[in-house]
Chains A and B, each alone.
Chain A
Amino acid sequence: GNSVTQMEGPVTLSEEAFLTINCTYTATGYPSLFWYVQYPGEGLQLLLKATKADDKGSNKGFEATYRKETTSFHLEKGSVQVSDSAVYFCALSDNAGNMLTFGGGTRLMVKP
């Protein structure tokens, strides 16, 4: 079956630091890959996505590249802000119109 593994948190960074949150996946075929963000007390928001190999998803300074050879979709941001503090979820969809499979989530805390 499908699975998503992402680095455990919490990840604590100072403002303007570089962020990487690792995500690897196991899936048959060619899944679509997503990063969702959950701010404190809120629901999930789609941050970015990539639907095929070598695609780069980007939004709000975050980016992730779909790497089929390494089955990875690492999230990066060059300079984090305090407002980026949230829980980040990597997820995949098997493109059969079916549900998302989520990673365990990584809590990011950015200190001023």
Chain B
Amino acid sequence: SAVISQKPSRDICQRGTSLTIQCQVDSQVTMMFWYRQQPGQSLTLIATANQGSEATYESGFVIDKFPISRPNLTFSTLTVSNMSPEDSSIYLCSVETADRYGYTFGSGTRLTVV
């Protein structure tokens, strides 16, 4: 399975600032997925990032708040913009496995907004 390196692993940020989370995969993948896990909650898909095109956002998530870059087939970034305490969550990236029957997750970024 692909190995995903996600960073930072955690951060504490001031409200109104922005944080960019990086996700590096050790193999080329077509789609990368960004999830949010709010405290004590399940995972919710934010967007799907395809190389060479704009990310596709799920209902309730917008590009201005969560801009995503996908410059190549092994890398993506998610920015959490103009943060508020409600953005405090774990953010995870994910890719489909080579056999296309599973998904691998990064270790997550634990974000606290104060």
A interface vs B, CB < 8 Å? 32, 34, 36, 42-46, 49, 51, 89, 93, 97-100, 102-105
| Nearest-CB residue, chain B, relative to A90 | B42
Find the residue from A36, A102, A104 having the highest chain B CB count within 10 A. Answer: A102
Specify the chain B residue showing the minimal Cβ separation from A51: B101
Contact of B102 among A34, A89, A97, A103 (CB under 8 A): A34
Q: A-B contact count, CB below 8 Å?
A: 51
Could you tell me the distance between the alpha carbons of A51 and B104 in the complex, rounded to whole angstroms? 16
Tell whether A43 pairs with B42 under 8 Å between CB atoms, given A93-B103, A97-B100, A99-B48. Answer: no
Q: A43-B90, A45-B105 are in contact. List 6 more A-B contacts (CB 8 A).
A: A32-B101, A34-B102, A42-B107, A42-B108, A51-B101, A89-B42
B49 shortest CB reach to chain A, Å: 11
How far, in whole Å, are A93 and B101 apart by their CA atoms in the complex?
8
Contact B42 A44 (CB under 8 A): no
Residues on B with C-beta less than 8 A from A43 are 6, 90, 92, 105-108
Contacts of B45 in A (CB 8 A): 99-100
B residues near A (Cβ < 8 Å) are 6, 30-31, 33, 41-45, 48, 90, 92, 94, 96, 100-108
Report yes or no: B108 in contact with A97, Cβ–Cβ below 8 A. no
- Pairs across A and B, CB under 8 Å, 28 listed: A32-B102, A34-B102, A34-B103, A36-B105, A42-B107, A43-B90, A43-B105, A43-B107, A44-B92, A44-B108, A45-B105, A49-B101, A89-B42, A93-B101, A93-B103, A97-B31, A97-B100, A99-B33, A99-B48, A99-B94, A100-B33, A100-B43, A100-B45, A102-B42, A102-B44, A103-B42, A104-B41, A105-B42
Q: Can you name the residue of chain B whose Cβ is closest to the Cβ of A34?
A: B102
